[in-house]
Structure 1
């Protein structure tokens, strides 16, 4: 059981894991959605995986490419995503809506996992029953004025077996490769097709001006006429007409595409809106389901076990703040994507811009961080204690009179483990929005690095150890738009008070104290960090063998490709970190808060020089989080470090050398 108000660790809670009894009220029986599939983009499928909803359980297939044609069948573009998608941590999937719904229903009703399964009934033991209407609920929250309205477009929906398309000589070329989404674009109408159900069924969405398919039927989802469908697309080429002729008349539906103005509020008391009730998303970029699932994940993260009834209004207000801007920006970008090709107001919309904004987000990470920040400040302003300065003291630069100190005879040994991890999680550790990753994607690289320094003149020929977390491929955007690239130093643990204080005061480095022990063997090394006897980090490097030559470290943020776009690694200027000095007597305010750069190269008498390099074959990480009583000053750090996922090891190395980084070239970025 988690502490009251503290979110449980990621991946430790199932879809039915909240400590609440849930009743489900669903007007649809789900099985009627025979003519619809949906996109589960990386930002969406990552959330589903977190709750144990896996693609293989509902026959979803990945998208491998996008092809675009004009109405006559002339190809405009073809984007191969099979290699580019490796920059995303999670897969981009195409799923049959019914199969997906059934798997979600199975999950919430299953007795497996923590907590009580959801109750899927509207009939109570006393025989009474409840009915509801979504529009009534929204009216209670937002008032009478907020209603969906027609966007001016409607969509025919139907499905065709892929085998039928393959057997037709006119259309067979469209299905030579699995997982391709294909679009035929006219000035004011378009046909979009993509496979689902393990590439056995092709889903079709035919978007067109609503007046062309208007009928006497009521509702947003109506039976449709195949004759009208063919007439709407009569100006398109033979390939499109052949595809439309495959539609099953008995299952053909026409769907009015609804839009809605931005709602003034998402919640009232303990009543809250999510998904299309809060922000209807048009289908032009496949993010409708994703936004609803992100909403649900946000509520789950913000209402962990231990949440009380009195907490709910505050948490729902936070939910609105967390979700409003993102959901409505996706809504706006989707509207732009759906504008007619001949519309003068279409602007410079690009699918790359949309995918970057949509896919590079993990709402669980985002909302979990937001809840922590709320809990940190819920009792009023607090003194924010980042690794900070205390005042002038002797340092590697100077003695207590300001005279330079030479440490050219000092020695060092450094142990480094570089690994691939979650960019969405690491972004929650950046201090301001000006810090970001250069390359797109949800996978990044970081390093744990531990150094033992010996024979330091400014410490009376003594030494100390430090261990830090560096995030690679980071950029800082200045106010004028220019960028500084480097590796971001998140935290630096030091084993001696004087270097910790000096580094915080003179350089603004994020230093904290911890006991650090290094045990060496012939081909291995063990690093342990503890406080007051409570170990919280264990790092084991094995198979260390001296390299035949002095090999450079792996490049930070190597070039990545996304279709025709290549993101080349910029030249890194050095190490980035953030200085924060709290204002005395003003909790929550800062006397100083700015980004700092340590330029590569040193330049002083103690410049670091590597003499020997050892490359390792294996490593192990162990984290022991403890609690606030066992780690009273480092528990918050230990928790965040333990939550960093390890996707794979990039490099293991040890270095012996002379001198050390003297940080002469440390400067404010702006």
Structure 2
């Protein structure tokens, strides 16, 4: 629930990488106060590009970050070469195939993505308070119970929640998962460097390998080379994965370490002269090497008020997974989230992210294994691509959060269409919480009359209801009601007209009698209450237009179907001395208390089986022991000037309700007993409804 709108959360994010900045941007948009603590000075790095897969691209767009605006170029195709001789194995144009994804697969310079996220997070423009970014803020200690971070200079930063987005060498991970869980060397390293496309095109031999918009791979048994463009196809990014022993990499904190160009050429010397020509264009001063790390699955994602995301939780997955972590946390901590909600939201985050993140981690681990390594196993790459790209974490987490919020309110009513969760009605909101209708207002217009019991008993389901009296005279009430200021209708209202047949009983199997008034129909002028009443209560509701006119103390009520009237009720002017204020629920329309109990009969037809029912049974609405209705005024009308006129029409006039209008038109009305207008406030939501047997 969101009941903390004016008190945003104070969130501290440790680490201002892609995951941390994406989280900061989204949480800022939700109105939270965000502080980012980054241990580095955020100096620009070189030599790194990044895939922005369709699933991540969509998340960035929802955050207001559009990769194409800072040079990200779409993937056009895929080319694979033999790493032993450089021969082309395949070349596939993917532009048509990639149209199945809602968002494009693009290739971006990592720095440009990082700068865009940072600018959107800290800019004074945009929704929510700008995030505060503190650089050179090395974290030395985190208290998960108080959500307090201690920095190397001795200063402290506290909040309601700490997000640990501090990468592979995470301090946060030690707090959450234990100090013994750390990344370890995978046995592989990666050269990272970039070459301007114009330099490649100026070299006759290297230029033959240039494919605009193509991701190119050279695959050998224990090493591979990946090349793809970024920055509007002006720079070619290279990743060279190989056994660490071949480049004698010394693992240090982070991955931005210098590398030897001689080692690069040596590792890939068998890839052919064209590849060697490419690699010779690398700038030795900007050549970096990255020790690829792995890590066991974390046993938990949060502890107290500290939660992990990105590389701190699952190092060296595709960046799309880190952005998904951020999207999930943003969604689970919307505007209005209270500090007391945080524990269950973090538990839900762990549930949402753990399986997916580690499924992707396992696949990338096997993809990185040597071609002849048994751990690589049989892999269905397209199945993985569909699993990875065909996911939207904003959509997924919103759905999971809604399920959580709905579950907190006990059983809820579901109505068609059920795919969207609980359906708002007088008895529940979209999270299943009850409404307060104490400020709703009503005006009831009633005409009580005598009629034929032998005629009306034809409306009873056989063997279910009967009249208490054995006589042939029955009493019934035609009631029209105006409702306004209903919270479940956004303050709006509607009207209904129905028939209450009094003096009815249902005899249970044990012989016990239940007394009340039977309602054979209710006409209403709004579809929403018709659907809720039918589905949740079993009410016999139909639609019609209802108009209430008042003139010279007389009230006329008209019911019509597409302009053709089938009912006119007339209530005569108020009689002398009938105006008055009645408190404590006075002014009830019935003469006998048992009449305030109500019966309807629920019937649900079976699909494809005419004449059969999936469910049919009597429904009982007992009069509440403490009526919530406050009656402000009751006016008795003149019975001499009152009347009821039903017009049967024909099948052409009333094609869907003629079977009802014709029956009502033949109903004999012998005497008008009473007319009454009751005004009041506060409504019963009928949640006390009971199924009889």
TM-score where L is the length of structure 2: 0.54
SS in 2 for 1:247: coil
1:121 aligned onto 2:134: yes
Aligned match for 1:208, one of 236, 242, 263:
242
SS in 2 for 1:174: coil
User: Conserved in 2, the CA contact under 8 Å of 1:60 and 1:93?
Assistant: yes
Q: Superposition pairs for residues 586-597 of structure 1, below 5 Å? A: none
User: Conserved in 1, the CA contact under 8 Å of 2:3 and 2:338?
Assistant: no
Aligned twin of 2:177: 142
Q: RMSD between aligned alpha carbons?
A: 4.0
Q: Superposition pairs for residues 325-474 of structure 1, below 5 Å? A: 325-379=355-409, 381-387=410-416
User: Conserved in 1, the CA contact under 8 Å of 2:78 and 2:92?
Assistant: yes
Query: d(CA) in 1 for partners of 2:542 and 2:376?
Result: 57
Query: d(CA) in 2 for partners of 1:119 and 1:308?
Result: 21
Gap change, CA 1:515 and 1:175, over 3 Å in 2: farther
Gap change, CA 1:180 and 1:383, over 3 Å in 2: same
- Cα distance, 1:206 vs structure 2: 0.1
Aligned twin of 1:306: 336
Query: d(CA) in 1 for partners of 2:73 and 2:232?
Result: 5
1:199 aligned onto 2:254: no
**C-alpha deviations, 1:332-382, integer Å up to 9, x for none?**
111122121122332221321121000111101111111111111225x42
Query: d(CA) in 1 for partners of 2:306 and 2:412?
Result: 34
1:68 aligned onto 2:73: no
Aligned match for 1:315, one of 313, 330, 345:
345
Query: d(CA) in 1 for partners of 2:183 and 2:214?
Result: 32
Aligned twin of 1:232: 267
User: Conserved in 2, the CA contact under 8 Å of 1:495 and 1:514?
Assistant: no
User: Conserved in 2, the CA contact under 8 Å of 1:14 and 1:114?
Assistant: no
- Cα distance, 1:122 vs structure 2: 5.4
SS in 1 for 2:236: strand
Aligned twin of 1:57: 69
Query: d(CA) in 1 for partners of 2:343 and 2:353?
Result: 15
SS in 2 for 1:183: strand
Query: d(CA) in 2 for partners of 1:513 and 1:99?
Result: 60
SS in 2 for 1:353: helix
- Cα distance, 1:24 vs structure 2: 1.1
Query: d(CA) in 1 for partners of 2:267 and 2:291?
Result: 15
- Cα distance, 1:16 vs structure 2: 2.7
Aligned match for 1:100, one of 101, 113, 120:
113
User: Conserved in 2, the CA contact under 8 Å of 1:67 and 1:183?
Assistant: yes
Query: d(CA) in 2 for partners of 1:187 and 1:309?
Result: 52
1:47 aligned onto 2:59: yes
User: Conserved in 2, the CA contact under 8 Å of 1:23 and 1:121?
Assistant: yes
Query: d(CA) in 2 for partners of 1:512 and 1:387?
Result: 17
Aligned match for 1:185, one of 213, 219, 225:
219
Aligned twin of 2:28: 16
User: Conserved in 2, the CA contact under 8 Å of 1:494 and 1:516?
Assistant: no
**C-alpha deviations, 1:421-467, integer Å up to 9, x for none?**
xxxxxxxxxxxxxxxxxxxxxxxxxxxxxxxxxxxxxxx9xx9999x
Aligned twin of 1:281: 316
User: Conserved in 1, the CA contact under 8 Å of 2:261 and 2:284?
Assistant: yes
Query: d(CA) in 2 for partners of 1:498 and 1:322?
Result: 33
1:160 aligned onto 2:195: yes
TM-score where L is the length of structure 1: 0.56
User: Conserved in 2, the CA contact under 8 Å of 1:15 and 1:107?
Assistant: no
Aligned match for 1:171, one of 206, 214, 218:
206
Aligned twin of 1:33: 45
SS in 2 for 1:281: coil
User: Conserved in 2, the CA contact under 8 Å of 1:59 and 1:198?
Assistant: yes
SS in 2 for 1:218: coil
Query: d(CA) in 2 for partners of 1:516 and 1:173?
Result: 75
- Cα distance, 1:81 vs structure 2: 1.4
1:90 aligned onto 2:119: no
**C-alpha deviations, 1:488-517, integer Å up to 9, x for none?**
xxxxx8896699659x99xxxxx9989799
Gaps of 5+ in 1: 390-398, 402-459, 467-492, 506-510, 518-596, 606-657, 660-670
**C-alpha deviations, 1:261-283, integer Å up to 9, x for none?**
0001010111111001001135x
SS in 2 for 1:120: strand
Gap change, CA 1:351 and 1:118, over 3 Å in 2: same
Q: Superposition pairs for residues 539-550 of structure 1, below 5 Å? A: none
- Cα distance, 1:217 vs structure 2: 6.5
User: Conserved in 2, the CA contact under 8 Å of 1:298 and 1:364?
Assistant: yes
Aligned twin of 1:453: none
Gap change, CA 1:357 and 1:388, over 3 Å in 2: closer
Q: What is the count of residue pairs matched by the alignment?
A: 416
- Cα distance, 1:330 vs structure 2: 0.6
Q: Superposition pairs for residues 237-248 of structure 1, below 5 Å? A: 237-248=272-283
Query: d(CA) in 1 for partners of 2:320 and 2:540?
Result: 40
Gap change, CA 1:215 and 1:313, over 3 Å in 2: same
- Cα distance, 1:57 vs structure 2: 2.8
Gap change, CA 1:237 and 1:116, over 3 Å in 2: same
User: Conserved in 1, the CA contact under 8 Å of 2:223 and 2:242?
Assistant: yes
- Cα distance, 1:70 vs structure 2: 0.8
Gap change, CA 1:52 and 1:498, over 3 Å in 2: closer
- Cα distance, 1:187 vs structure 2: 0.5
User: Conserved in 2, the CA contact under 8 Å of 1:161 and 1:201?
Assistant: yes
Gap change, CA 1:238 and 1:368, over 3 Å in 2: same
SS in 2 for 1:263: coil
SS in 1 for 2:208: helix
Aligned twin of 2:484: none
Please say which structure displays the higher CA radius of gyration.
2
Query: d(CA) in 2 for partners of 1:512 and 1:212?
Result: 80
SS in 1 for 2:34: coil
SS in 2 for 1:104: helix
- Cα distance, 1:73 vs structure 2: 1.6
SS in 2 for 1:113: coil
Aligned match for 1:291, one of 292, 296, 321:
321
- Cα distance, 1:199 vs structure 2: 0.5
Gap change, CA 1:22 and 1:186, over 3 Å in 2: same
Aligned twin of 2:298: 263
